[in-house]
Structure 1
Amino acid sequence: MKVVLLENVKNVGNKGDIVEVKDGYGRNFLIKNKKGVIGNKENIEMTQKNKAEEEKKIAAERQAAIDLAKEIDQTEITITERAGEDGKLFGSVTSKDITERLEKEKGIKVDKRKVELEMPIRNIGRVEVKIKTYQGVTGNLTVIIKGEV
């Protein structure tokens, strides 16, 4: 019996797959629990159409993320914090500070969890910060830390 899976089923297949299963398993488990539908011509065509739409959507999201990463690469922000005479900040600059300043100055909204900082910035200077925009796509933001006495 052919079944089109509506969700991931362990040891059978993933959502959207067309699988061949035994009749009893298909009728009594997959279809009854709404984990799949009978693999007739209409359901198979609908599944293939949905897969194509999903791929287009993913491609559009990826392209938007690549464009955002290019914009971030060309962006430079300045953050001014209190610092001592030796160039060390009294506090630190965190990913939250960076995302707030980026949104305020440039209008680019990024989730603070996407900013890849190993440790908060504690010194004056120029720092390259990686910002992940999509899986495998990152942009390098230039952050200039200035100190005020």
Structure 2
Amino acid sequence: MTQEPATEASPVRPLTADEEAVVRALPRLVHGLPRAIDAEMIREQGLSTTEYLALMHLSEAPDRQLRMGDLAEACEMSLSGTTRIVNRLESQGFVRRVRCDHDGRGWRAALTDAGLARLEEAWPTNLAAVRRHFLDHLAGLDLEQLAAALRNVAT
């Protein structure tokens, strides 16, 4: 939700103590949460969160394939960063590249059976980390309302 610029008729309101606490906690969440989950994934699975997310998005795609640009967008990464992730996953046999049917210049990343098995193996670790570092701290909150608010902020 956008707010109109302050005018003489609508001065800028100072933050309440609760608003201030949320605003100050947000950067710690944005930076700390992914790091905590990533550290756990690497320690327990030898798989980064980014690699996990690439496998997850591919598993959810039609025919378990996505154009490289679409995978980059889904993972919220640059195309070059996605290419590096796909290279790593491909070297481990979890992903393969296939030419796009309708566009001979384009490539798709395709999840292999080994990649799907690796995702299923890593899923419990990721789920436990997400619960421990994030969801368990939201007990008692209206998660539907929180999700809607977060989507509004993101757009």
TM-score using structure 1 length: 0.30
Q: TM-score, normalised by structure 2?
A: 0.29
User: Which protein shows a greater Rg?
Assistant: 1
